[in-house]
Amino acid sequence: MFTGIVENLGRVEAIEKKGSNTDFVISSPISKEFKIDQSIMHNGACLTVVEKDDHSHRVTAINETLIKTNLNDLRINDSVNLERSMIMNGRLDGHIVQGHVDTIGEVTKILGEDGSWRFFIKYEANQERITVPKGSICVNGVSLTVVDSDKDSFSVAIIPFTYEHTTFKDLKIGTRINLEFDILGKYFARYMELYS
């Protein structure tokens, strides 16, 4: 379980296809602190560390993960948002994030707002993919508050600190991004589907 508060940016050093799987070697200042078999969130997708050294770590994405996330879009030298799983006796600074990407969205518009940015994101809607104004959404592993919400789109406001310390500074119109919708909203939607 995660909070959506990015700890550090990693950089893709190598991408290796192994059958239907893909291994990613990511360098970061915090890779040396990871443990083998530890779950680390990479752009919102929970992946297991399979190797590490003092400068980098290796994770394997299975075909199912590659299909449901934007990890296949990664290239050498791309930045990746990283977060270790939360410590249960710590503060929950973002919101409850599982690291299970629900769908891939697309950036449709970026507006500068005199010191901050508004990102508009579109996605394929269904009954479990719900956003609400002032609700939570996880975008590429970043816990954010929804500004505007529609059936298949929403916007988020990005402050300068988040812009500079995450992959938001690299996003462009048309960029595909990982989305994880709020777990409470998903449970409510499922309940209504089953019992109403």
Q: Which residue ranges make up each domain of the chain?
A: 8-84, 103-195
Token pair for 129 = 């993919």
Residues facing 9 on adjacent strands = 81
**103-195 fold:** Elongation Factor Tu (Ef-tu); domain 3 (2.40.30)
Which whole number is the average pLDDT over 91-115? Answer: 92
Q: E strands of the chain, at which residues?
A: 8-18, 21-27, 39-42, 45-52, 56-61, 79-84, 103-112, 117-122, 136-139, 142-149, 153-158, 176-181
pLDDT at position 91 over 80: no
Q: 94: closest CA among 48, 154, 140?
A: 140
pLDDT at position 148 over 80: yes
User: 179 pLDDT band (50/70/90 cuts)?
Assistant: very high
pLDDT at position 35 over 90: yes
Q: Are 120 and 168 in contact (CB under 8 A)?
A: no
User: What is the spatial distance between Cα 117 and Cα 98, in angstroms, rounded to a whole number?
Assistant: 26
| pLDDT score at 159 | 96
Q: What is the pLDDT of residues 46-59, one digit of tens each?
A: 999 999 999 999 99
**8-84 fold:** Elongation Factor Tu (Ef-tu); domain 3 (2.40.30)
102-106, 129-133, 159-163, range with the lowest pLDDT: 129-133
Same fold: 8-84 with 103-195: yes
Q: How many other CB atoms sit within 10 Å of the CB of residue 137?
A: 26
pTM, to two decimals: 0.91
User: 67 pLDDT band (50/70/90 cuts)?
Assistant: very high
Average pLDDT, the chain: 94
